[in-house]
Amino acid sequence: MRAYFSRRYRLSASHRLHTDTFSEEQNRDIYGKCNNPYGHGHNYTIEVTVGGQVGAETGMVCDLVELDTCVQKNVIERFDHMNLNLDPLFQHQVPTTENLCMEIYELLADFNKAELVRVRIEETSNNSFEYPVSKR
């Protein structure tokens, strides 16, 4: 029997949406207030979904402590209370939440206790991002 398990995590980080390939005016036009030279912050909610067979003995898809440990080590410790622009992952790409979502997915891809199904990030109460997008 296959089931899915989702767990939520929180982190706070700042970023500035800006690319050197655009002029200052283009950056302001495209990114608006998110192009503030001093950056701005978000309290992100990250939802990680894994799937797999329900263990006959445990009744679980995976041990949530193992998932928590993986997310803590690979995501929270790396990004919480950090400026995303300073992380090597964003040295050559804009730290949009779309890119953050895809990078977090890749950072968790080695979790081998269950299949990583998706990463979803709520940036604000109005904005959320998901990778990969499920085919419904």
Verify whether residue 34 is a known catalytic residue.
Answer: yes
Pairwise CA distance, residues 79 & 74, whole Å = 9
- Assess whether 123 carries a catalytic annotation: yes
Among 24, 40, 77, 81, the one annotated catalytic: 81
Structure tokens at 85: 């622009």
Placement of tokens 């990969």 in the chain: 132
- Which tokens belong to 69? 């440990």
- Rounded CA gap, 58 and 85, in Å? 41
The first and second tokens of residue 54, run together, are 């329900």
Q: Which of 47, 115, 123, 130 is catalytic?
A: 123
**Cα 8 to Cα 50, 70, 86, 120, distances in angstroms:** 12, 13, 25, 9
Catalytic residue among 34, 98, 115, 130: 34
Catalytic residue ranges: 34, 81, 123
